Structure 1
Amino acid sequence: MIKAAHPQLHLEVRESLRAQQSLAEIGLEDASLLDALSQFDLYGAWRIDLETGMVYWTRDVFEIHGMNFREGAVDLNRMISLYHPDDRELVMNCIEEAATRKTGFRYVLRLTTPDGHGKLVKCNGCFRINREGREEIYGTFSQFQERIRTVAVSS
């Protein structure tokens, strides 16, 4: 574990990745999982093309960032600028370390939406080489929720 400069910041770097899981093993597709995760809360997926620096978001990631959905890429620098000024370098470090070490990361950091509202967000990222042979990092993104006892039922 790496010591963080800020007393409330916990930074963890793991060298090894966990074994991959397959949704096909239980008869599900990738979209089914994202649908289940986002049934009650905003929960999206993202991808960074490391060659171009372009970032791609699902609808919920746009909404969490306080932005209207649009197709196409989001500029990496624009994305970083939405984080709290004290957290921007941490986001870049996570991306750079994952790309260099060919591994993953996770964080809970502060985001500021374009209308000035602050929120905590949780992000997980994982390095891979895609079908075209290009390096990218992909992952999940959600608004961080404090752990509380809660039950929700869909009708």
Structure 2
Amino acid sequence: MRIYVPATLDELDTVDVGRTSARWSLTPRPVHGVTRALIAELPDEDTEGVEYAAFLDAAAASLALLAARPGTPPLRAVVTVEVPDHALEPVGTGADTTSSELRLTEPVPDVPIVCVHADEPDAAPDVTAVRSAAEADDDAALADTVQRATDRDLLWYDWSEVGAIPR
């Protein structure tokens, strides 16, 4: 199954970029993908639209990762990979979950990366503002800064460009 992995750019330092692929070892973690729940939630969307919704959920989750991990480059990243279905389980619905959320339940070593999406370096102040608002526990400022950060499009990088993503 194709999944969208919320990530931070420092996590990509462990990617092995070779001549024919970039490979990354995954450990159990929350990820996003096209689930039955997401399809039911978006009945009028085609496959591409539902995949995009799962990708956007992963981008939002990356922002949450960054807010919780000071010291990482303040730019969102989403890594697209394909893993065996048996390595995934759905996450129950609740206030803190999205309908695209899955749990990678086992380590998956040496997964080929399809592509990476990441913020351009100019987005760093918006992401840093999210971190600051989260630390200050300011709900109004947090909503505003999250909106500014998520209004930005992520840039697409081929697997061969993983080591060249600007920070």
- TM-score, normalised to structure 1's length? 0.26
Higher relative contact order (CA 8 A, sep 6+): 2
- Is the helix fraction higher in 1 or 2? 2
